[in-house]
Homo-oligomer: A and B are copies of this chain.
Amino acid sequence: MKDISKVVLAYSGGLDTSVIAKWLEDTYHCEVVTFTADLGQGEEVEPARAKAEALGIREIYIEDLREEFVRDYVFPMFRANTIYEGEYLLGTSIARPLIAKRLVEIASETGADAISHGATGKGNDQVRFELGAYALKPGIQVIAPWREWDLNSREKLLAYCDRHGIAVERKKGKSPYSMDANLLHISYEGGILEDPWAEPEEDMWRWSVSPEAAPDTPSYLELTYRSGDIVAIDGNDMTPAEVLAYLNKVGGEHGVGRTDIVENRYVGMKARGCYETPGGTIMLKAHRAIESITLDREVAHLKDELMPRYAKLIYNGYWWSPERRMLQQMIDESQVNVSGRVRIKLYKGNITVVGRESEQSLFDESIATFEDDAGAYDQADAAGFIKLNALRLRIAAGKGRNLLD
């Protein structure tokens, strides 16, 4: 048993983390500091204060981190067109580093020697919280109750509450899914999703209407980019969190951004997850469009080749690592000229790019044109280009190498 005097707990105010708060005190005889963050999950965070007080907590941190979250985590990630395994926009993964950072900062502020969280021993989140914490404060202790205790069912948790006088709201119609939400997405796991052949029921989805239920009339948006980030929509300047909230709203109304996948967890298993990421889905599409006219070809290709690795780092919990930082520096550098406007159309689940323009555009109509280019491009150059690119292939074929074997 570790010797702990004070622990900072990532506290949601819900059943699980309320039990954890009590369990930590009882098990480690330590003081508990709660930390509750508003990352845009769509629920009030202020009620967590009363709940924490009811548990006898004396140091209570409640913080609105929405702007920091989008500005310093979501936007940098989207500069890389990041997507894990071709499908997942990393909505949960990208929120964990910020929470880890605040947990250890609060530990330093309050003199705590440990942090704790409510993530299970089977998932990625424990890894993301703990790698982040160790990387930022190497001497910190970590308590992961789900890996230690035997309260491994809802019934045992409720019994624990009864025994220890923890007030529980017994909601009717509790969702059968394990969910996580922040400004970037809401996720669903468990329940019938554990069968990869089962289609989720329509009433699982909370943030978006189905394409079927979306309006019959499209919406057009004009997104203004500056150095890779959206800074205005339809001409209105917005902060990062405002951008994402607005795109979530409009995207969700048009049925945009649902994903249903089986993904590979860092701990070694495959898991089914459903995600709603309306704003993020729009941002990925639009960012590729603004890059398509402003990025050099080889820079774009290098980014594409490194993206899966960057996505994997974030998914696996290595946001706070020198290798992620090294890649980030390269990505950010690539975005200096990624400025301009993208026009998109939203309609029943579809995002269509219908225009892109930029003062930094590298699209050169005078060269690309099918019409007379007035000598901007000498077609005869292509012959030599092809001949030398073919030389190694011709030499090999001439020496009997056969590609048709």
Interface stretch (choices A33-41, A159-167, A377-385): A377-385
Bound-state CA distance A362–B268 (Å) is 11
Bound-state CA distance A211–B321 (Å) is 42
Interface residues on A, range: 35 or more
CB-CB nearest in chain B for A365: B194
| A293 shortest CB reach to chain B, Å | 5
In the complex, whether A392 has a CB less than 8 A from a CB of chain B is yes
A343-373 with Cβ < 8 A to chain B: 343, 345, 347-350, 352-357, 360-365, 367-372
In the complex, whether A308 has a CB less than 8 A from a CB of chain B is yes
CB-CB nearest in chain B for A296: B322
| A205 shortest CB reach to chain B, Å | 12
In the complex, whether A71 has a CB less than 8 A from a CB of chain B is no
The interface bits of chain A over 65-84 (1 if a CB of B lies within 8 angstroms of the residue's CB, else 0) are: 00000000000000001000
Asked whether, in the complex, the Cβ of B136 is within 8 Å of the Cβ of A404, the reply is yes
Asked whether, in the complex, the Cβ of A401 is within 8 Å of the Cβ of B337, the reply is yes
Asked whether, in the complex, the Cβ of A362 is within 8 Å of the Cβ of B399, the reply is yes
The interface bits of chain A over 112-144 (1 if a CB of B lies within 8 angstroms of the residue's CB, else 0) are: 000000001110001100110011111100101
Asked whether, in the complex, the Cβ of B135 is within 8 Å of the Cβ of A370, the reply is no
Given A86-B81, A131-B389, A386-B127, check contact A312 B322 (CB 8 Å).
no
Asked whether, in the complex, the Cβ of B383 is within 8 Å of the Cβ of A381, the reply is yes
Bound-state CA distance A268–B134 (Å) is 13
Given A349-B349, A355-B196, check contact A297 B392 (CB 8 Å).
yes
CB-CB nearest in chain B for A357: B197
Asked whether, in the complex, the Cβ of A395 is within 8 Å of the Cβ of B364, the reply is yes
A139-159 with Cβ < 8 A to chain B: 139, 142, 144, 146-147, 152-153
CB-CB nearest in chain B for A270: B363
Residues of B within 8 Å of A318, CB to CB, are 298
Given A211-B350, A330-B327, A384-B385, check contact A134 B367 (CB 8 Å).
no
Asked whether, in the complex, the Cβ of A322 is within 8 Å of the Cβ of B363, the reply is no
Tell me how many chains of this kind the complex includes: 4
Bound-state CA distance A268–B138 (Å) is 14
In the complex, whether A198 has a CB less than 8 A from a CB of chain B is yes
* Max chain B C-beta neighbours (<10 A), residue from A134, A136, A272, A386: A386
The interface bits of chain A over 84-124 (1 if a CB of B lies within 8 angstroms of the residue's CB, else 0) are: 01110000000000000100000000000000000011100
Asked whether, in the complex, the Cβ of B304 is within 8 Å of the Cβ of A394, the reply is no
Residues of B within 8 Å of A211, CB to CB, are 347-348, 350
Residues of B within 8 Å of A255, CB to CB, are 350
Asked whether, in the complex, the Cβ of B390 is within 8 Å of the Cβ of A268, the reply is yes
CB-CB nearest in chain B for A388: B385
Asked whether, in the complex, the Cβ of B272 is within 8 Å of the Cβ of A368, the reply is yes
Residues of B within 8 Å of A81, CB to CB, are 86
In the complex, whether A175 has a CB less than 8 A from a CB of chain B is no
Asked whether, in the complex, the Cβ of B299 is within 8 Å of the Cβ of A326, the reply is yes
In the complex, whether A173 has a CB less than 8 A from a CB of chain B is no
Bound-state CA distance A364–B294 (Å) is 41
In the complex, whether A46 has a CB less than 8 A from a CB of chain B is no
In the complex, whether A238 has a CB less than 8 A from a CB of chain B is no
Bound-state CA distance A269–B381 (Å) is 14
| A106 shortest CB reach to chain B, Å | 15
